[in-house]
Amino acid sequence: MGIQGKSMKILMITTNDPAGMAIAFTNAINRYTEHTARLITTESKYKTAFEADIHMPDIIGDDFSEVEHLLKSADIFHFHVLADENMLLGPLLIRNYIKGKRVLHHEHGHPYFLANADAFIQKYKAKNRKTLVSTPDLLKWLPGSIWLPNIVPIKDVQFMPWDGGEPDAEKVWVCQAPTRKYHKDTKTFMRVMERVEKKHPRARPAHEHAGQTDALGPPEAHQGPCPQGQGKMARPGEGVRRQRAERVGPHYGARAARPGLFTERRREATRS
């Protein structure tokens, strides 16, 4: 149960959505718990096109009323990556709305965090903040955190088990799509793939970075890339979204029946 026995209103706030996990957790909370969640993003990176709720650059006409309503009515602020209460959402300074809220920080391994982990530890300790990390290796950088594994919407069509028998392709490409190879364990990925290839000769590693796809290893051994856009598959596909007759789970906010609806209405009004 939530605070004082009630369901909680959770507002997630981030700059870019790390690996689409902010919207994934937002959707999961709304689908499978008694709590409700919304998400505010302020930018997008790496040529991804994750599903969004309220994306600040999409707000038209300086109408921040929905954002302010969510800031006021939330029970919990859940910050991802480097976001915190000192951020501005348009003209709205988050810390002006933080009184009485519970605050959670969710670290995803941003280089600035890794370079300044001690400062983050001291800041969170001084403010008595709870912390989460997205991968187990980050526990050594932020001791006392809870590892909350990244999630996959397993009931979305593209993540369901393959029921078409053995693939016909001559090679089965196993793709990694890191933003930065130097701290995304690409070397570990390659070591694991060497063992996989010995057991499954058709398996081949491939790598996609910043929209460019390359096979890894000697050209004669690894011909051909993984499918273009493979790095975007963590988000629900367009076809899957069309198949959803309605979104499951309530969403708090006076004007939004589902994430981003108010923003979409503003876009439609502008187009008309």
* Model pLDDT for residues 63-95, shown as the tens digit of each residue: 999 999 999 999 999 999 999 999 999 999 999
- The residues spanned by each domain of the chain are 3-154+238-271, 164-232
228 Cβ neighbours under 8 A, 6+ residues apart: 213
Exposure letters 64-103 (e unless 16+ CB within 10 A, then b) = bebbbbbbeebbbbbbbbbbbbebebeeeebeebeeebbb
| pLDDT above 70 for 52 | yes
Q: pLDDT: is 162 or 20 the higher one?
A: 20
Q: What's the CA gap between 167 and 174, in Å, rounded?
A: 13
| pLDDT above 50 for 220 | no
**Quick one: average pLDDT of 131-157?**
92
**What per-residue confidence (pLDDT) applies to 169?**
66
Q: What's the CA gap between 244 and 36, in Å, rounded?
A: 19
DSSP structure class, residue 130? E
For residues 97 and 30, is the Cβ–Cβ distance under 8 A?
no
The answer to whether domain 3-154+238-271 has CATH 3.40.50 is yes
- Confidence tier at 202 by pLDDT (50, 70, 90): confident
CA-nearest of 62, 240, 57 to 152 is: 240
Q: What's the CA gap between 164 and 186, in Å, rounded?
A: 30
* Most confident by average pLDDT, 44-48, 110-114, 152-156, 211-215: 110-114
- pLDDT above 70 covers a percentage of the chain that reads 70
**What per-residue confidence (pLDDT) applies to 162?**
72
Phi, psi of 137 (to 5 degrees): -65, -25
| pLDDT above 90 for 263 | no
- pLDDT above 90 covers a percentage of the chain that reads 50
CA-nearest of 36, 34, 28, 30 to 11 is: 36
For residues 26 and 12, is the Cβ–Cβ distance under 8 A?
yes
Structure tokens that stand for 128 in this block: 């008595």
Of all helices (H) and strands (E), which one includes residue 209?
Answer: strand 203-209
